[in-house]
Amino acid sequence: MMNFDYSRATSLEQAATLARRPGAMLLAGGTTLLDLAKCEVARPETVIDLTRLPDLDMITVGENGAMIGALATMSRVADDPSIRQHFPAIAESLLLAASGQLRNMATIGGNLLQRTRCPYFRDPAGFPACNKRNPGSGCSAIGGITRDHAVLGTSDHCIALYPGDLAVALTALGAAIQTTTRTIPIEEFFLTPDATPERETILEPGEIITSVAVRATPLAANSTYLKVRDRQSYEFAAASTAVGLDLEADGVTIRDIRVALGGVATKPWRATAVEDALRGRRLDEGTVREASLAAVDGATSHGGNAYKIELVPRVVARAILKAGGIQ
């Protein structure tokens, strides 16, 4: 039995103060916290319940964009008609994640902060060496079974995969994360492991996500999320791609494009080389497939995950062609 203190926050200010305590962890939907506690990765000394805080579960969509509260559930956001119409990649990424039951509980803020599914990270008894859990102890995944590990953004200290879907869509749409103290572009929010894999975001102690902001753009309105996995439901991505595509008036020339990758990197990964290769080009299958090869520039395999390097360009090409109405 794990003993901990429980506190129900009545304001963001109180929650932030409590969250600065050593060993404090936040409770929203609870789906990730419960998982981590079961495998004894998370051992909170204090659990701070955010679920009664007002105005953090809103979903508002206007002509300038969308504001999604951190306590809004995945299912509510995915089912919102305005989100589905103006930001389809967001709705698609959420509907392809987890199970219906989990989506009814899990929150947007919690989803963004979910931890890796690396089996070495989640088995502290069997694999005590894990730089995410115990900095400086080593990475048990390197040299181990790596089929579900990252090929992009890795380091000698960690090759664990970021598992989420929503953050990939938000990266493609250029979203911003709003916290109790600042607004953070999503591409700056997540960190690659480098020498400090225990730190996965730039959040400071006591800093709490309050909402996600997404601008209304032609890219966002014509966006999609494609996920390839071993089975059709309740499975994490072998590779995924979110694409926002804006065409010129002729309907075939690419005015602008944003591409993000999931299931293959240590953080949601922006494929800028693919974007640069396609802007101003004609949208056709040959051009897209050639440009998509750049999605794995700099990729490094670790044995069992080498298939991802071949898979990713195919998934990217399919997603771009789908957004362009070709497939």
In this chain, the answer to whether the domains covering 5-49 and 219-323 adopt an identical fold is no
What pLDDT, on the 0 to 100 scale, is given for residue 2? Answer: 78
Model pTM score: 0.97
Q: List the beta bridge partners of residue 260.
A: 242, 270
Q: What integer is the mean pLDDT of 244-267?
A: 98
Superfamily name with CATH number, domain 219-323? CO dehydrogenase flavoprotein, C-terminal domain (3.30.390.50)
User: Is pLDDT above 80 for 69?
Assistant: yes
Q: Which residues contact 237 (CB under 8 A, 6 or more apart)?
A: 163, 165, 227, 228, 229, 262, 263
Average pLDDT of the segment spanning 303-324: 98
Q: Give the pLDDT score at 142.
A: 97
**pLDDT, tens only, 98-139:** 999 999 999 999 999 999 999 999 999 999 999 999 999 999
Contact indicator for 213, 66 with CB cutoff of 8 Å: yes
Alpha carbon distance 166, 201 (integer Å): 16
Residue 307 three-state SS: helix
CATH class of 5-49: alpha beta
So where are the chain's domains? 5-49, 219-323
Q: What is the pLDDT of residues 151-176, one digit of tens each?
A: 999 999 999 999 999 999 999 999 99
**Calpha distance 177→166 (Å, rounded):** 13
Q: Tell me how far apart the alpha carbons of residues 196 and 132 are, in angstroms, rounded to a whole number.
A: 8
Summary mean pLDDT of the chain: 97
